Structure 1
Amino acid sequence: MFGQDANLGINLSDYASIKSGAYHKLLKAYYENVPDDDKKTDSSSKKNTQTTQKEKVEELTRVENAADDVKDAADALLTQGNKSVFHKVEKTGADGKTTLGYDTDAIYKAVDKFVSSYNTMIDRGGDSENERVLKTTLSAVQNTKKNEDALNSIGIMIGSDNKLLIDADKFKAADMDTVKSLFNKTASFGYQTSANASMLSFYAERAASQASTYGANGTYTYNYQSGNLYDTGI
């Protein structure tokens, strides 16, 4: 309808009208002639729009927080050196001999926290209406499925809902070198999940910040696309 700046996408005619106050005058003149019932309807519609926007931002914030929790849990497992949960400690056997070995209970606790955080992220990301959030959640699910056999070997199963289940006894009896290879190495399952969580947090935060942009034409524009991407892509 009006010309736009090719580089910035700014509607110069609308911008000039807003800056000069013409939009305000037109809106004021319009609403002075609108029947009371119409005013009430518009007010109610605006309130509903604001409520919906608030709910969408809150949903995206929950996704962002869940993704951050996964990143923290994964990064804790990726820590190297003396502070690593995989740093071997002295253990005294039944025969009284002291050897170096993994602290299995500490490793289990760290992995269990990762599993719990991962499940929350999949729940929240999979319920989102934002396309990039859905695609990144799907990427995390697909990455997990690629590692299904290795995860099964240490007592971590993938449920029908794509969430993880950890068998404490089987996990503690598993080869901790295998666990370490899955969670403590570059390009490992844990590393890739941390990367996915970082991207998911970024997209959720950005979508939340853009969720209620008020356009020059007086309408709200949304950064959402509804669909069944997450359901159909798995």
Structure 2
Amino acid sequence: MGENIDYQGGTGYFAASGQENAPGVVVIQEWWGVQDQIRSVCDQYAAAGFDALAPDLYSGVVVPYHDKAAAAREMEALDFLSATDRQVSAAAAFLARPGRKLGLTGFCLGGIVSILGAIRLDDFAAVSCYYGLPDLDQGLPEQVRLPVIGHFALDDTWCTPEMVDAYEAGLKRAGKDYVFYRYACDHGFFNPDIPEFHSEYAKLAWSRDLEFWSRHLKPAEPTS
């Protein structure tokens, strides 16, 4: 189990793997804040051999799952670009070690921030995005600079299949390193605390992420 911590530039939930050479993953919250689900994702990463930190983008506000109006207000008040440049970068700095590679992942609004990180930050080696994409005035697909894996829901009415198709087309035209997966379920399918949870697809997406990280976050081989 992890713990809530303060670090230079932010606060968040940190789960340590206990492994000296573990890669690191920054986990970005849904619109609910750093809820129990986000903490459990960090714990899952720690159990899988990663040091994981979820920076608190809402500065302590956690929205109950039934209150979508409050979640929308918090998300709409968030400066996504500033959160990426400051809070996500500070979380990466906390995890940084010589030779360590870092991944960035996020869910819902965290998916948006993850793609923005792939555009704006130099801290990460690769990015995993769940059912969230930036508006084109926030970040264009041709600006993405990192390998990306994306997980999207075919029944999603927020990050719609049409939005996903359009963003993917831009990535493809620009020759970016990406793979997008689509699942026959609804937005939020990775979160076991809400009705939209789909255990089969959550397990599948998790296994795909672990394989993706194994390729992109492996420590560099020592040179002779």
TM over 0.5: no
Q: Which has the higher contact order (CA 8 A, sep 6+)?
A: 1
Pick the TM interval, shorter chain: under 0.3
Task: Compare the two structures and name the one with the higher helix fraction.
Answer: 1
* Structure index of larger Rg: 1
Normalising by structure 2, report the TM-score.
Answer: 0.25
Task: Compare the two structures and name the one with the higher strand fraction.
Answer: 2
